[in-house]
C-alpha cells in the first residue's frame, strides 16, 4: 500500500527559544508548500516547544519532542511527561533515540514504557532503533534491530502499532557523515517490516519506517526511493531551513 512520506527534524540540543522561533519561521515559509504531499515535523528542545508551536500554529508542520518519561507525574527531577508534551502542543515524540540509548542509558524496557506512555497520551511515538559499528561489523545488525523493535512494541495491539512510526538510525551513521547505502537501509527496513507483520499483520503495511543517519539533500531522494524507506529522521541538516526543505523535496521526487 502507498504510505505518505514523513520527514521529521530533530534539533537535538541546539537553538535557544528565540533562535528556535526564527528557525521555525524559516522552516514554515520554505516547507509549508510541500507539507500537503509529505508529512513534516520538527522536534526542538523542551525549552523551545511553546515558542516553536506558536510559530507553526495553523500550518501543516507538526511539533514533536525529543524524549519523555513514562510516568504521568512524580519525583523525577529533570523529566517531562507525555501529558506535559501534549499540553505544549506536541503531536509526535521520539522514543529511544540512539543518543538516549548510548549516552543516557535508555534500555529496551525503558523505550517500551515510553512508547506506551506516549500512545496513552494521544501522542504519535517515533520509536528509534539501530546498531553500533561493532554490531554491524560482527554481522549482528538484524539481530540487534529485531530485538529492539520487538522489545519496544511488546504488549501492544495492532491498533497501537498502527499508530506509531519506527525510525532506523544506525548509530555509526549519526553525526559522522557516514550514511547507510540505499541497499543497506532497505535491507534493514524490510526486516523491520517483516517483524511488524508478525506482530500486527493488519497494520504492518501502514506503519512508516524512517531512515536516520547523516541524511542530506544530496542523498535523501535515493534513500527514500526504496520501497520500505518511508521518510527520514533528520539531525544536523534540519538546522538549516534550506537543507531541511531539500530533504523534503527528495521525498516527493
Catalytic residues: 97, 169
Look up residue 150 and give its three cell numbers. Answer: 520487538
Strand partners, 10: 43
- Cα(253)–Cα(225) distance, integer angstroms: 8
Report whether 92 contacts 43 (CB < 8 A).
yes
81-to-65, 90, 165 alpha-carbon distances in Å:
11, 12, 19
What 3-state class would DSSP assign to 77? coil
Helix, strand and coil percent figures for the chain, each rounded to 5: 50, 15, 35
Amino acid at each position: 500500500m502507498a504510505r505518505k512520506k514523513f520527514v521529521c527534524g530533530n534539533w537535538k540540543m541546539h537553538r535557544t527559544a528565540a533562535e528556535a522561533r526564527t528557525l521555525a519561521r524559516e522552516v514554515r515559509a520554505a516547507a509549508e508548500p510541500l507539507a500537503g504531499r509529505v508529512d513534516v515535523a520538527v522536534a526542538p528542545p523542551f525549552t523551545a516547544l511553546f515558542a516553536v508551536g506558536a510559530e507553526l500554529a495553523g500550518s501543516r508542520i507538526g511539533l514533536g519532542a525529543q524524549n519523555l518519561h513514562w510516568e504521568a507525574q512524580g519525583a523525577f527531577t529533570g523529566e517531562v511527561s507525555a501529558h506535559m508534551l501534549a499540553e505544549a502542543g506536541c503531536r509526535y515524540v521520539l522514543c529511544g533515540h540512539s543518543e538516549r540509548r548510548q549516552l543516557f542509558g535508555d534500555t529496551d524496557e525503558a523505550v517500551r514504557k515510553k512508547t506506551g506512555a506516549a500512545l496513552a497520551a494521544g501522542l504519535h511515538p517515533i520509536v528509534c532503533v539501530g546498531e553500533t559499528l561493532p554490531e554491524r561489523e560482527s554481522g549482528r545488525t538484524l539481530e540487534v534491530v529485531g530485538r529492539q523493535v520487538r522489545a519496544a512494541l511488546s504488549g501492544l495491539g495492532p491498533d497501537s502499532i498502527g499508530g506509531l512510526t519506527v525510525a532506523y538510525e544506525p548509530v555509526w551513521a549519526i553525526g559522522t557523515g557516514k550514511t547507510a547505502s540505499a541497499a543497506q537501509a532497505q535491507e534493514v527496513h524490510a526486516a523491520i517490516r517483516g517483524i511488524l507483520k508478525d506482530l500486527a499483520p493488519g497494520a504492518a503495511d501502514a506503519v512508516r519506517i524512517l531512515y536516520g543517519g547523516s541524511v542530506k539533500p544530496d542523498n535523501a531522494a535515493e534513500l527514500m526511493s526504496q520501497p520500505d524507506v518511508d521518510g527520514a529522521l533528520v539531525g544536523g541538516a534540519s538546522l538549516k531551513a534550506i537543507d531541511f526543505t531539500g530533504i523534503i523535496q527528495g521525498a516527493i521526487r
